Structure 1
Amino acid sequence: MRRRALIFGGAATLGCFAAIWPAPARTQQQQTWRVGVLIPGFLTGPTGDLVEVFRQELHSLGYIEGKNLHIDRRAAEGNNERLPVLANELVALGPDVIVAVATPAIAAAQRATSSIAIVMTPAIDPIGSGFVKSFSHPGGNITGLANMYGDSITKIFDVLQSILPNAKKIAVLMSSNPTHPGQVVVSRDAAKVLDLSIVPIMAATPADLDRAFRDITNERCDAVFVLADSIRPSIVAFAAAARIPDIYQISEFVEAGGLASYGPRLSAMWKRSAQYVVRIFKGVAPAELPVEQPTKFELVINLKTAKALGLDLPPTLLARADEVIE
């Protein structure tokens, strides 16, 4: 049951800009536009579904794959060290826009080109990562969406305590994403306020998850908080096998069987990303397209998973949820 929709806000709406991207790869009268999509994760599963959301939004805006649109897709399958090679492959194909998903892919695309427009879908800290000069005036060839995941961490620990009032130790699952060490610091501060301790657990690639969940079990953690990253669907299965409550910043994990999530909807971000791409097709400069931030965050709870874990969730928490999966 959905209760609230995700809304994005920026310094101004996308339709308000007259600035023109000075050197589009082809004219607006061209027959076919080319988009490169660079993903740290997988093209199947939840991320594949999100790419389809993106494609369908472009279709609704008049850009149809196989007719006047070509989409080149590249996925690192959880191995971020592959991203620079994949980014260079996309650049060599001469796209009009590159859609880069999450900080590792955005950084790889930024290193690969300073002339092709890049749309962040999304980034945790666009300014701190050096992608844009400011949200209102990005100033270069990169624009798009910020997810503000760091701002949601305190709320996530509040949700965790509501679900597990007697918890004392929380695992924080990381990858090689360069934003994760900073997110661990924020997590530690949020946990300390609630008299919780955290145990950072590194799983740089999907191949490391088996060992990571053994470490979580050996540390006797009461729950695992998975930092926002490319979607690694196997995390849900590992958490279920370990019978450990799992909480995320991305709702697609909960739809796949995870316990709970709190954060902005990725599907809304992908739709908005398609709208950025179309504005760039029409000649608007990415340097002058403001970076948008979510203004609504959603609490999603999987009641079936809670029952499988033997958890009796407070009615007040369920009442606060934007979606309850039963």
Structure 2
Amino acid sequence: MKHTKRLYGTIIFLFAFLIFAFFYTGHNEKVAKNKIPKVGVLQLMSHPALDQINQGLDDTLKKHGYINGKNIKIEFQNAQGDQSNLRTISKQFVQDNVDVAVGIATPSVQSLKNATSTIPIVMGAVTDPKGFGIIPSNTKPGGNITGVSDQAPLESQLKLIREIMPDLKNIGIIYTSSDMSATTEMKKMKKIAAKQGLNVTVSSISNVNDLEQVSTSLSQKVQAIFVPTDNTVASGMKLLSSIAAKQNIPVFPAATTMVKDGGLATYGLSQYELGEQTGEDVVKILRGKGKPATMPVTFIKKGHLILNEKQAQKLNITFPESVIKRAQKEGKIIK
């Protein structure tokens, strides 16, 4: 009789346990299903190009129904160009267990890469991901990182410069020595320009405080200045263009946003479109439709022709009619 009661008791206990486990598991699955995803966005510094990438990212998330504070938590952090800030913020994203981390600019991505090998990382504009050692392959990243490249169409940019300045013989390049993207593009543009018989003078800066002195010296040696995709120079673009203008020297930047800040012209990638593609990658990962390891890096091919008519007038430069027509058709004229 006692054995029978014990058996019944055991059966009742197991039955109760199974019911509890069933509802507990169901509850956890429901919680997991209804979990609000967290996205950490780490931006190197503030200037129009990087701000436009972030805007494109935000707008794309909204387009797909992700509203910050409602059904997604977006933790945006600006490192203000400080390496220690990059490290601190990256570690914080890992502690917060974000579902996706976005790095806007190469140093941001490198910092995130050093902080985690498991959380998905989306590159918001890295010029040469494979060349910089961030991923082993642009087509098959193989790890936790994928995203978008902002490699500028350098040959098209030099072609545009020579269309506007057919008598060009001496061109200068100014870049930040610690910026990997800028260094890569400087070397490529130097090689392209030299092949076309141009004399190239290269000047580097360590930080934005060097810009005035270095750009003043460079402006006295060349007929035009080219600026690669360079975050530090971009943050001081107004200063650079004003100094060069005193010598009647035009500045041709790689980034379209830098034309508005005093650049003369460029055929470049839209920073906003880079942000849009970054957003598409984030959405794909959040919805389980892709994993960084098998998501190829996106290289945007189509550029936009941007002309600064106001700056041209200041420099007494007349744009060829063919260039103006192309800008009206496939770009923008700033007046």
TM tier, smaller? 0.7 to 0.9
Partners of 1:196 and 1:80 in 2: how far apart? 37
CA distance in 2, matches of 1:161, 1:52: 33
Question: What residue is the counterpart of 2:119 in the other structure?
Answer: 116
1:264–1:196 CA distance, 2 compared to 1 (3 A): same
Aligned residues of 1:78 and 1:205 also touching (Cα < 8 A): no
Structure with a larger share of its residues in helix: 2
- In structure 2, distance between residues paired with 1:41 and 1:200: 25
Q: Residue 321 of structure 2 is aligned with which of 311, 315, 322?
A: 315
Aligned length: 297
1:320, 1:95 → 2: CA distance? 44
Which residue of 2 is the match for residue 75 of structure 1?
Answer: 78
1:40 alignment partner AA: L
Amino acid aligned to 2:190: R
Given that 1:188 and 1:197 are in contact with CA atoms closer than 8 Å, whether structure 2 keeps it comes out as no
**Preserved CA contact (<8 Å) 1:78 1:230:** no
**Pairwise mapping of residues 183-262 of structure 1 onto structure 2 (< 5 A)?**
183-218=185-220, 220-230=221-231, 232-243=234-245, 244-262=249-267
Q: Which amino acid aligns with 2:50?
A: T
Instruction: Tell me the TM-score normalised to structure 1 length.
Output: 0.83
Q: Please say which structure displays the higher CA radius of gyration.
A: 2
**Distance in 2 (alpha carbons) for counterparts of 1:286 and 1:58:** 18
Distance, in Å, in 2 between the alignment partners of 1:84 and 1:212 is 30
Cα pair 2:219 2:225 within 8 Å, conserved: no
After superposition, the Cα gap between the structure-2 partners of 1:49 and 1:180, relative to the gap in structure 1 and judged at 3 Å, is closer
Q: Compare 61-70 and 203-212 and name the one that shifted more.
A: 203-212
Q: Which amino acid aligns with 1:325?
A: I
Asked whether 1:276 is paired with 2:253, we answer no
Deviations 1:58-111 (A, max 9, x none): 112111111122222222334456533332233333211111122222212111
Any conservation in 1 of the 2:215–2:240 contact (CA below 8 Å)? yes
Counterpart of 2:45 in structure 1: which amino acid?
Answer: G
For 1:121-140, what aligned pairs fall within 5 Å after superposition?
A: 121-140=124-143
In the TM superposition, what is the alpha-carbon distance from 1:235 to its structure 2 partner? 1.1
Asked whether 1:37 is paired with 2:56, we answer: no
Q: Is the 8 A contact 2:54 2:104 kept in 1?
A: no
Structure 1, unmatched stretches of 5+, are 1-25
Alpha-carbon separation, structure 2, partners of 1:45 and 1:148: 17
Q: Structure 1 residues 63, 92: CA separation in 2 closer, same or farther (over 3 Å shift)?
A: same
Percent identity of equivalent pairs:
28
- Aligned residue in 1 for 2:310: 304
Classify 1:306/1:101 alpha carbon distance in 2 versus 1 (closer, same or farther; 3 Å). Answer: same
TM-score (norm 2): 0.81
Give the direction of change, closer, same or farther, for the CA distance of 1:85–1:201 in structure 2 (3 Å limit). farther
Aligned mates of 2:255, 2:322 — CA distance in 1: 22
Note the C-alpha offset of 1:270.
0.5
Asked whether the 8 Å contact 2:212–2:239 carries over to 1, the reply is no
- CA shift for structure 1 position 140: 0.4
Distance (whole Å) between structure 2 residues aligned to residue 314 and residue 27 of structure 1: 62
Change (3 A) 1:162 1:46: same
Cα distance in 2 between the residues matched to 1:310 and 1:78: 36
TM-superposed CA distance for 1:115, in Å, is 0.8
Counterpart in 1 of 2:334? Answer: 325
What SS is found at the alignment partner of 1:123? coil
In structure 1, the partner of 2:297 is: 291
Name 1:154's counterpart in structure 2.
155
Which structure ranks higher in relative contact order (CA pairs < 8 Å, sequence separation ≥ 6)? 1
